[in-house]
Structure 1
Amino acid sequence: MDILANLGQGFLGCLQPVNMAMLFIGIVVGLIVGVLPGLTLVMGVILALPFTYSMDVTPAIVLLTAMYVSGTYGGAPTAILFKIPGEPIHVPLLWDGYAMARNGQPALALGWTLIAALVGGLLSVTIMVALSEPVAKLALTFSTPEYFAIVLFGLTSVVSLGRGSLPNAIISLCLGLLIATVGVDSIYGSTRYTFGLPLLLDGIEFLTVMVGAYGLGEVFIRLHEGFASAPIQQIGEMRTRLPSWRELSRLKGVLLRNSVLGNIIGVVPGAGATIASFVAYGFEGQYNKRKKELGTGIPDGIVAPQAAATASVGGALIPLFTLGIPGSGATAVILGAFLLHGIQPGPQVFLTSTEMIYTVIASLFLGIVAMCLVGFFAIRPLVKILDFPEAVVSAFIMLLCFIGALSIRNNIGDLWLMVAFGVIGYLFERYRFPIAPLVLGVILGPLAESSFTTTMISYRSDWTVFFTRPISGTVMVLTLLALVIPFVTHIRTIRREGHAAANGSSE
């Protein structure tokens, strides 16, 4: 009952004019940051941090958390409509979201993202309120072996991204992992695959790969086709359409399990919304009843990554509020805001700053609802861009791609890298190699390498530690099953086709 009473006081505090103003500003700015390629969610929160110096701690944290939660949704419209994910969070979303849009249902695809963000966010914050302390204590036992196991499990989603060709998907993933090794090794400081080029010393930014392969690559494909495909506005609706209760009822399992999954992954320090999004899509690719249809434009592939991404916010805030341990890059910045205002997050903060902490929690409830309302009405002006001919829209997309690539490091060399990956994206599409595993490897590769190397150093190169620790061992077994079962199925399919061909020729 104390929790409910404190939460009630938090809602009253959240309704104060200054807190409501910061909440609304944070939602709008977070959506804008999410839409713009190259301006990441963490970068946006960092840029907003200096503006909070002169504020009281409550409106400052409300502003930053509002940006955090809305940024997990902001890039969804551009991913679905233009195949440009504003954040790596939204890469899994576009695999079915963009396909549904091209199938004539962009409005419904946008509606599914809103529902997924709403349900995932609200459920996540509810779990945060009810279980924050015990879940955070469990996450405190996680170390680099558990983190590597979870990232590796995320990489197994490659088996569902091959578009019918598992070997092509693995080749694409390995190329992405190779690209991720370019630059200076973060552990030992050695240079790898730089070929004497200063540009490559800092590595290849995943945003450069993502924007080039998806955004610019799609423009090259359209150019090759002579802009012959129908614009989206001619084959779909010009407004957001929410799914019916009947449709929602069919996907309630997908919504709930991925909301819980995203919350759990968010609790793991350093995991965040990107890993939650990839793992959720990979999980559906393994266990969903319609897993063979993923990538063709089904709502399951839209709901899973978006619900998990938004749900990870509540999970990442659990260790921050209760233990002072940031669960993601954005919460690390929010931790800095706490410290700048003289407050050390941890178990004592619920006693010494009860009103402030519950006001922030209440602002998350209101912020998620406000995010969906603003997103619902802000999508219509965005969709209006599609009134232009496809060639004009493609030129606009190219402009966004170049601005996004330049804004990453303010380096002209990144523009050439983006063009190179645009050509690679075009060639991949032309010769039926999936781009998604490539991007997956580039994003998750450094995380896997860092956690693996740190584990080997800490445990004296004893690789069995991944299997002897209970949590990491369980995840590793699930990872092996997720890899072995599709391979066995693939081999059996080849054998059946071979037997069928042999029987047909004998007849």
Structure 2
Amino acid sequence: METLHLLSQGMIHIIADGYLTMLVIGLIVGMAVSVMPGLGIVMGIVLALPFTYSMAVEPSIIMLTAIYMSGTYAGCFTAILYRIPGEPNDIPMLWDGYNMSRNGQTAEALGWALISAFIGGIVSTAFMVGLAIPLGKLALQFSTADYFAAVFLGLTSVVSLAGASIVNAFIGLFIGLLISTVGVDSIYGSERFTFDSPILVNGIPYITVLVGMYGFGEVLTRIGRKPINFSKVGEPIRTNTAFPSLKQIWDIRETLLRSTVLGTLLGIVPGAGATVTSFIAYGIEKQYSKRRDLLGSGLPEGIVAPQIGSTASVAGHMVPLLTLGIPGSGATAIILAAFLLHGVQPGPLLLSTAQSKLTVYTIFASMFMAVVGMCLLSFLWIRVVVRVLSIPPAVLAAVVIMFSLLGTYANRNSISDMMLIVVFGALGYAFEKFKFPISPLVLGVVLGPLAESSFMQTMISHDNDFTAFFNGPIRGTFMALSLAALLFPVVRNSLSRRKSSMSQTVSD
């Protein structure tokens, strides 16, 4: 009953205080950036972040989570209509979504994607709400050692964000942690890595790093690339939406259940983003679907599984962020930065007072409303997609540069930060050019101060005894999970090599 009461209070709070406007703006921005080549969800959140400086924490987070939610869904439009994934998590949508569209069932494909996003979003958000208070109570028992272990688990999630090279991911993480130490030490008050420069004495704001790496860096990366010519792709025959019948939905109930549970649970795991979830959901469907032999030819199951999985993971990512203060993806790392920007530390204390509970449940209520809102807006948005895709890349680049510079300056009213953003833009370009993932660096910058403070406090209170990080049930569990996360790719690669060598032996 307490949960329902808090949710109703949150909805009243959103409507009465005018936060509904920020929700709608976030939904529109998320849908726009997810279909624009060169942008994407993370950059959309980064570019929207400076506009939250003068807002309260609730409307800020409501807008950013709405961008995250709608952006994760709306990328399916270009995947189904043009065979161009809006986001990496939309790649599995190409295999059945686009083929269904080619078979003259464009409206049906869009309808299945819409229903899937609605079910995945609503069910996973309800699961998140039910899990928040128990996890919050557990988190209140955390010591500084437990909290460091939780943060350490978040840092080891770089393995999931590594892409092709785990070594490159850890190099990026190390650089991010190094950047987070620049400035005055919060424990001892000594200067570190300032090189007698007044620009670096106060540290490097994570906002500057984020906007530089994602905003400026992406613009530099896109220069010289051949833009996608959407005029050659052709207009889709039908751009309306046809909902599946209740019988059709009931016929694939097993797919709905599998993908919803998978997306929600994987979303809670740090590093298991929407892309990982959508691929795993499709892979499981390929193994267990009754019509698995026909997957890839235009089946509803091939649309439902990845779409539900990726949408459900959004709410799942918010669970560790709000209850433990640990971001589970690149997007939630930016949302964590927004919390910190407004002086709010997500984690155990966020559910400890009546006012902070209202803040959290206002965010929960907004996520329910965001799911409904993005489904309603999608009817109009399908007709807008073609026009959005026709915006020249040069115009997009100019807009990104303008918002990046203005947003960075507005953070501290500092010209120096505008100089730093160019430096981090060049670093972002170098990362993209040499195939280094940016997300590990972002995790290092955002989680670095949290890891350092909890580590130092534990060392001081336990007389520099390193066993303090392992001799408790909570911290021991987190450390075991961290070790498993680090060993998983080693075991996976070893098994893959063994399987490959066995196959080669058999073929010989």
Other-structure match for 2:141: 141
Partner Cα distance (1:119, 1:125) in 2: 10
What amino acid does structure 2 have at the position aligned with 1:396? V
* Matching of residues 7-406 of structure 1 within 5 Å: 7=4, 19=15, 22=18, 24-25=20-21, 27-28=23-24, 35=44, 37=46, 40=49, 44=52, 47-49=54-56, 65=58, 68-75=61-68, 96-97=88-89, 116-127=120-131, 132=133, 134-225=134-225, 227-230=226-229, 234=233, 250=255, 252-253=257-258, 255-256=260-261, 259=264, 278=271, 302-303=310-311, 305-311=313-319, 330=339, 367-373=369-375, 376=378, 384-406=387-409
Give the Å deviation of 1:449: 1.6
> What letter corresponds to residue 478 of structure 1 in structure 2?
L
> Which whole-Å CA distance do the structure 2 matches of 1:95 and 1:468 have between them?
42
For the Cα contact (< 8 Å) 2:60–2:338, is it kept in 1?
no
Q: Which residue of 1 aligns with 2:106?
A: none
Which residue of structure 2 aligns with residue 415 of structure 1? 418
Per the normalisation by structure 1, the TM-score is 0.65
* Distance in 1 between residues matched to 2:16 and 2:232, nearest whole Å: 36
| Structure 1 residue 473, shift from structure 2 partner | 0.3
Instruction: Measure the CA separation in 1 of the matches of 2:113 and 2:412.
Output: 31
Alpha-carbon displacement from aligned partner over 1:212-234 (angstroms, at most 9, x marks no partner): 22232222222122x34445995
CA contact (8 A) 2:70 2:374 kept: no
Q: Distance between the aligned counterparts of 2:180 and 2:157, measured in 1?
A: 18
- Please give the root-mean-square deviation of Cα atoms over the aligned residues, in Å: 5.4
The alpha carbon displacement at 1:158 in A equals 1.7
1:455–1:374 distance in 2 versus 1, CA, 3 Å: farther
Post-superposition shift, 1:26? 5.2
The secondary structure found in structure 2 opposite 1:189 is: coil
Mapped contact 2:128–2:315 kept (Cα < 8 A): no
- Following superposition, the deviation at residue 180 of structure 1 comes to 1.8
Contact residue 174 and residue 438 of structure 1 kept, 8 A: yes
8 Å contact kept, 1:66–1:367: no
Asked if 2 retains the 8 angstrom alpha-carbon contact of 1:150 and 1:475, the reply is yes
Q: Report the equivalent of 2:450.
A: 447
Superposition map of 1:485-504 within 5 A:
485-490=488-493
Counterpart CA distance in 2 for 1:161 and 1:345 is 29
Q: Which amino acid counterpart does residue 367 of structure 1 have in structure 2?
A: M
Q: Encode CA deviations 1:139-190: one digit per residue, 9 max, x unaligned.
A: 2211222221122112222223332222222222222221222122222222
Give the superposition deviation at 1:239.
7.7
Q: How many residues align?
A: 432
Query: Is this contact kept in 2: 1:280–1:304, CA < 8 A?
Result: no
Equivalent position amino acid for 2:46 in 1: P
Equivalents in 1 of 2:91, 2:282: separation in Å?
19
Describe the shift of the 1:483–1:79 C-alpha distance in structure 2 as closer, same or farther (beyond 3 A). Answer: same
Offset of residue 470 of structure 1 = 0.3
Structure 2 CA distance for partners of 1:252 and 1:402, relative to 1, 3 Å: farther
Which one-letter code corresponds to 1:72 in the other structure? T
Pair 1:115–1:175, CA change in 2 (3 A) = farther
SS in 1 for 2:204: coil
Q: TM-score, normalised by structure 2?
A: 0.64
Task: State whether structure 2 residue 477 is matched by structure 1 residue 474.
Answer: yes
Distance 1:483 1:360 in 2: 36
For residues 1-55 of structure 1, the C-alpha deviation after alignment (integer angstroms, 9 at most, x for no partner) is: xx28x948985x88979955645245346658985635549x83x7444xxxxxx
Q: Distance in 1 between matches of 2:443 and 2:235?
A: 30
Q: In the superposition, relative to structure 1, how do residues 358 and 193 fare at CA in structure 2: closer, same or farther (>3 Å)?
A: closer
Unaligned runs of at least 5 residues, structure 1: 50-63, 83-92, 266-275, 292-297, 318-326, 337-343
Query: Which residue number in structure 1 is paired with residue 332 of structure 2?
Result: none
Change (3 A) 1:398 1:236: farther
Please list the CA deviations of residues 361-400 of structure 1 after superposition, one character each: whole Å capped at 9, or x if unmatched: 9955863455435664685668744322223222222223
State the distance in 1 between where 2:386 and 2:393 align.
Answer: 13
Counterpart for residue 339 of structure 1: none
Deviation for aligned residue 1:413: 1.9
Contact 1:116 1:304 in 2 (8 A): yes
Unpaired segments ≥5 residues, structure 2: 31-43, 76-84, 99-108, 285-305, 326-335
The equivalent of 1:437 in structure 2 is 440
Note closer, same or farther for the CA distance 1:27–1:433 as it changes in structure 2 (3 Å cut). Answer: closer
Q: Counterpart of 1:321?
A: none
In structure 2, relative to structure 1, the CA distance for the partners of 1:261 and 1:398 (3 Å cut) is: same
